[in-house]
Amino acid sequence: MLSPKILVIAIALFLGSTTVTSAAGPAQFALLVGAGEYRHLPKSNQLGGTTNDVRLMRELLQSRFGFQAGDIQTLEGDSATGDGIRSAFERIIQALQELPDENKPAQVVFHFSGHGGQLPDQESEGRDETDGLDETLVPTDATMVGGEEDIRDDELNRLAHMICDQGQANLWIVLDCCHSGTGTRGVQKMGVPGLVGYRALRRDVKPTTTPMAPIVNTLPEGAVALYACRDHELAPEYFDGQLRYGLLTRFLTGVLQDSPEGSRISYTGLRDAIAARYRQDRQIGASAPVPQVEGNAKLLDAGVLGSGLIPSPRYWKVDAASSSPTLVAGAFHGIAKNAIYRLHESPEQIGNSMNEHTESETGFARTTKVEAATSSLEFVRWDGKKWQPSQWPKNLKRAYATLDSRGDNDFGLRVLVREVVESNRERTLNLESLSPPLQTIFVKNDGQQRTDDWLSLVEAPYEADVIVKIAGDQMAAFNAAGHCSWHADDQPHEGNALFGGWGPIDLRDDNAAEQSLHLLRRIAKARNLLRVAAHGDSGGIRPIRIGIELLAHDQNNSEAAPESWPNSTPGKLPGAYAMRSGDCYKYRIRNDGNEPVYVSVLHLNSDMGIEQVFPYQAGSEIEGADDTQIRPGESRIEGPFQCNGIGASSFGQRYTVVLATAKPNSFYMLVQPSLPKVRTFGEADSLSDILMSGAYFKTRSRRRPVKLFDNSWGSAIVQWVVQP
């Protein structure tokens, strides 16, 4: 699995109190730090809103999420020192280790309100910053020039993994500070009523310049972090009447307190709702920073601190500022033509309106044209028989869309179900012979097989994209490309009949149908990404042409010019590349076209895992030209990254896909964790088959290819193998 380089404060963690609960249910811990009174810093560096931030967060946790007073620790003033924060970490780690199993995973929250800063990166093996600077949280005993009192990102990362060890806690970080000293570089803000001061220290620090060995730091599994701003922005304080607050904390608590009790607002939805309120506030407007969220792909869509009984619905942004309303998602995201979407003014309104039409929705829209990264929309109304086009509301310039009904089946997944019977032989199951959990995902409420959905059941091996195999009460999924030679006759098996498949899923589980559907959706997403991306440039009059090259990185001499990764088959293109655990590498991305493009880089493994490696922060918002833009004729080198192929499940094929679009994109929405596999050794090597069948439409249904490509995007793919 690839570990991407990330912004260092993104490595912060959740803290909590040391109360250990013995009652059934998850334990709750919170540490709220308000660092506003800096004893060694001048008056101009003091912050007035941190005490109010701590109060708001304490009230929110108790009133909305059921935290008890004893679950919450607060550090303010003289207690919010570097040693004070470190001691709190130690107490939390000890408390988590003593929790009984019935109280795990614990819900743990760390909120820091104060200054963010930078220090020179370590000269030792702890080097992890390509710019030679460590981002820090600044405690109240910090000195003006920075010192060992600051909490470095490296230290926070180590503690974070200890807190999340073996799934003992789910963590939420909220950092209401400038998480990079570079946020002050080249930024000049005009005075805006309501915004006072900034939470970053201007420090004249020089980066470490010695050669760097790349060390990848990532948030642990189960962790989500919310940041006040992007690395080049400032985090201001905010006046509400006579009281001063951190801007992020003031609006975060407002969004969650205003959401209906039991609503399902997700971490991603929370970030977007905060940004929407920034835009609506006359005191802030265009001067507002862009809040950021980062974490495990599954958790980003989960309810904040486990709230809500049902996972938050996926939504897409709608830009209707021009005469052509646009859904900021397209073929890469699995959007289909003629799909119907519910429109909402804010993510806050989405939670409770998914089962029936309510006042929380603004209306409905239909996709009329699907391109790679965007889709055209029209406003529609239901006349009792069908959807009719209607006038787009004049005041609806920005919205959030959730899927109401799927459109044309351009990205369908065809599934063959086989059951292992006596003597480990198999038979194909039809719709009537499926067990109830599987029958549920293929059948409508009226008992008819679905014909307009993305998932269909087939009975011929040559028609299948995926084969689901059942052995007893267990189920696993396989790529059909590896089973194309099967005949209609039952086939014998030796050993575990589900070996090498994705799963297993226990069909006796009450949630078996939901788990099966989720597994098949993840397979479909990875297939469709490769299917579209493998077409390379889009052609046309002014095509987008993008290239990617795999480079070797010298850990002992980071200043050396990177060389191309050795081709195991010299003279042949595309090249064959082999890598081992511990190898370090980079990517060179080129814009070979005639127009500026915005790029995202995604990494895929053979278990359908999709990771974003550039930009490094999943969910980062893009406003105008920034680090993701490459001009015509330019190239850029990203990395270094380190291959951590440890254990049999980490070996096998890998693909890196660079996607380039004419407008800023949101391909971080494609990120998903790898599927678990039924295995005792090695792993099935199936991704190349999926790439070929997806890219060239070599499915067994012999359909006529659907045109999905236009002049708005381009792509390139590099492939390699991780060897033991």
Q: What is the pLDDT of residues 262-317, one digit of tens each?
A: 566 888 888 888 988 888 787 776 677 888 888 876 778 778 987 654 456 678 88
Residue 3 counted as domain residue: no
How far apart are the C-alpha atoms of 442 and 466, rounded to whole Å? 14
| Range scoring the smallest mean pLDDT among 104-113, 214-223, 290-299, 429-438 | 214-223
How far apart are the C-alpha atoms of 291 and 272, rounded to whole Å? 8
Shared domain check, 662 and 692 = yes
Instruction: With cut-offs at 50, 70 and 90, classify the pLDDT of residue 192.
Output: very low
C-alpha 717: how far from its chain's center? 21
Give the pLDDT of residue 499: 79
Q: Percentage of the chain with pLDDT > 90?
A: 19
Picking from 366, 385, 405, the residue at the C-terminal end of a domain is 405
| Range scoring the smallest mean pLDDT among 50-64, 404-418, 619-633, 655-669 | 619-633
pLDDT 10s digits, 422-449: 766 889 998 888 888 888 888 755 555 5
**pTM for the whole thing?**
0.62
Give the pLDDT of residue 698: 37
How far apart are the C-alpha atoms of 376 and 394, rounded to whole Å? 17
Asked if 302 and 673 count as a contact pair (C-beta separation under 8 A), the reply is no
Shared domain check, 688 and 586 = yes
Residue 228 tokens read as 């006040």
Give the pLDDT of residue 116: 84
Shared domain check, 173 and 28 = yes
Q: Dihedral angle at the C-alpha atoms of 613, 614, 616, 618, nearest 10 degrees?
A: -90
In this prediction, residues 603-610 reach a mean pLDDT of 75
**Which has the higher per-residue pLDDT, 687 or 378?**
378
> Which among 308, 330, 304 has a CA at the least distance from the CA of 317?
330
C-alpha 402: how far from its chain's center? 18
How far apart are the C-alpha atoms of 603 and 610, rounded to whole Å? 6
Shared domain check, 145 and 281 = yes
Q: Taking the CA of residue 343 as centre, how many other CA atoms within 13 Å lie in the half-sphere pointing to its CB? A: 24
Residue 635 has pLDDT above 50, yes or no: yes
Instruction: With cut-offs at 50, 70 and 90, classify the pLDDT of residue 487.
Output: very low
C-alpha distances in angstroms, 35 versus 32, 86, 115, 138, 471? 10, 14, 7, 8, 58
In this prediction, residues 121-127 reach a mean pLDDT of 50
Asked if 463 and 414 count as a contact pair (C-beta separation under 8 A), the reply is yes
In this prediction, residues 407-421 reach a mean pLDDT of 79
How far apart are the C-alpha atoms of 421 and 487, rounded to whole Å? 16
Shared domain check, 204 and 78 = yes
For residue 462, give every residue at least 6 positions away whose Cβ sits within 8 Å of its Cβ, in sequence order, or none: 484, 700
| Range scoring the smallest mean pLDDT among 186-200, 333-347, 454-468, 484-498 | 186-200
CATH of the domain at 46: 3.40.50.1460
How far apart are the C-alpha atoms of 145 and 9, rounded to whole Å? 19
How far apart are the C-alpha atoms of 212 and 587, rounded to whole Å? 17
How far apart are the C-alpha atoms of 616 and 128, rounded to whole Å? 14
| Range scoring the smallest mean pLDDT among 20-29, 36-45, 124-133, 460-469 | 124-133
Residue 345 counted as domain residue: yes
Residue 456 tokens read as 């269909």
Mean pLDDT comparison of 324-328, 335-339, 603-607, highest-scoring range: 324-328
Pure H helices in 145-289: 153-163, 247-258, 267-280
For residue 145, give every residue at least 6 positions away whose Cβ sits within 8 Å of its Cβ, in sequence order, or none: 203, 204, 205
How far apart are the C-alpha atoms of 699 and 412, rounded to whole Å? 11
Give the pLDDT of residue 74: 95
Picking from 355, 388, 405, the residue at the C-terminal end of a domain is 405
Dihedrals phi, psi of 419, to nearest 5 degrees = -115, 135
Residue 217 has pLDDT above 60, yes or no: no
Give the pLDDT of residue 2: 31
How far apart are the C-alpha atoms of 197 and 547, rounded to whole Å? 43
Residue 521 counted as domain residue: yes
Task: Work out the number of other CB atoms within 10 angstroms of the CB of residue 242.
Answer: 5
Q: Taking the CA atoms of the chain, what radius of gyration do you get in angstroms?
A: 26
Residue 2 counted as domain residue: no
The residue count of the chain comes to: 724
- Indicate the average pLDDT of the chain: 74
> Which among 526, 530, 520 has a CA at the least distance from the CA of 466?
520
In the block, tokens 């926070």 appear at 156
**Which has the higher per-residue pLDDT, 164 or 190?**
164
| Domain interval for residue 441 | 413-525
Asked if 353 and 342 count as a contact pair (C-beta separation under 8 A), the reply is yes
How far apart are the C-alpha atoms of 250 and 260, rounded to whole Å? 18
C-alpha distances in angstroms, 610 versus 1, 162, 332, 370, 583? 10, 25, 13, 22, 20
Pure H helices in 66-178: 82-97, 153-163
Pure H helices in 608-714: 687-695
Identify the three-state secondary structure at position 426.
strand
Give the pLDDT of residue 178: 77
Pure H helices in 191-339: 247-258, 267-280, 297-300
Give the pLDDT of residue 53: 96
For residue 561, give every residue at least 6 positions away whose Cβ sits within 8 Å of its Cβ, in sequence order, or none: none
| Range scoring the smallest mean pLDDT among 158-167, 276-285, 539-548, 583-592 | 539-548
Shared domain check, 237 and 345 = no
How far apart are the C-alpha atoms of 181 and 153, rounded to whole Å? 13
Instruction: With cut-offs at 50, 70 and 90, classify the pLDDT of residue 488.
Output: very low
How far apart are the C-alpha atoms of 77 and 50, rounded to whole Å? 10
In this prediction, residues 124-142 reach a mean pLDDT of 66
How far apart are the C-alpha atoms of 641 and 639, rounded to whole Å? 5
In this prediction, residues 624-632 reach a mean pLDDT of 71
Give the pLDDT of residue 676: 72
How far apart are the C-alpha atoms of 152 and 642, rounded to whole Å? 22
Give the pLDDT of residue 574: 62
How far apart are the C-alpha atoms of 63 and 636, rounded to whole Å? 49
Give the pLDDT of residue 404: 82
How far apart are the C-alpha atoms of 563 and 424, rounded to whole Å? 51
Give the pLDDT of residue 613: 75
Task: Work out the number of other CB atoms within 10 angstroms of the CB of residue 25.
Answer: 10
In this prediction, residues 460-473 reach a mean pLDDT of 85
How far apart are the C-alpha atoms of 528 and 536, rounded to whole Å? 14
Picking from 375, 405, 435, the residue at the C-terminal end of a domain is 405
Shared domain check, 640 and 569 = yes
Residue 323 counted as domain residue: yes
Q: Taking the CA of residue 529 as centre, how many other CA atoms within 13 Å lie in the half-sphere pointing to its CB? A: 31
How far apart are the C-alpha atoms of 702 and 718, rounded to whole Å? 28
* Count of structural domains, the chain: 4
pLDDT 10s digits, 257-270: 887 665 668 888 88
Shared domain check, 504 and 372 = no
Mean pLDDT comparison of 410-414, 513-517, 582-586, 602-606, highest-scoring range: 513-517
55, amino acid identity: R
| Range scoring the smallest mean pLDDT among 204-208, 304-308, 350-354, 486-490 | 486-490
pLDDT 10s digits, 32-62: 999 999 988 888 888 889 999 999 999 999 9
Shared domain check, 151 and 220 = yes
How far apart are the C-alpha atoms of 692 and 507, rounded to whole Å? 32
**Which has the higher per-residue pLDDT, 163 or 485?**
163
Give the pLDDT of residue 108: 92
For residue 187, give every residue at least 6 positions away whose Cβ sits within 8 Å of its Cβ, in sequence order, or none: 232, 233, 234
Asked if 67 and 306 count as a contact pair (C-beta separation under 8 A), the reply is no
Shared domain check, 340 and 283 = no
Shared domain check, 634 and 509 = no
Give the pLDDT of residue 411: 65
Give the pLDDT of residue 669: 66
Shared domain check, 262 and 152 = yes
Instruction: With cut-offs at 50, 70 and 90, classify the pLDDT of residue 697.
Output: very low
For residue 414, give every residue at least 6 positions away whose Cβ sits within 8 Å of its Cβ, in sequence order, or none: 456, 457, 458, 463, 464, 465, 466, 699, 700, 701
Residue 496 tokens read as 């575990």
Mean pLDDT comparison of 232-241, 530-539, 542-551, 705-714, highest-scoring range: 232-241
Residue 186 tokens read as 């080249």
Asked if 407 and 339 count as a contact pair (C-beta separation under 8 A), the reply is yes
Identify the three-state secondary structure at position 397.
coil
How far apart are the C-alpha atoms of 99 and 110, rounded to whole Å? 19
| Range scoring the smallest mean pLDDT among 76-85, 489-498, 546-555 | 489-498
In the block, tokens 């004729």 appear at 633
In this prediction, residues 158-182 reach a mean pLDDT of 80
Residue 145 has pLDDT above 60, yes or no: no
Instruction: With cut-offs at 50, 70 and 90, classify the pLDDT of residue 365.
Output: very high
Residue 193 tokens read as 């009523």
Asked if 105 and 26 count as a contact pair (C-beta separation under 8 A), the reply is yes
Give the pLDDT of residue 24: 61
Please, what's the largest Cα pairwise distance for the chain?
83
Asked if 540 and 593 count as a contact pair (C-beta separation under 8 A), the reply is no
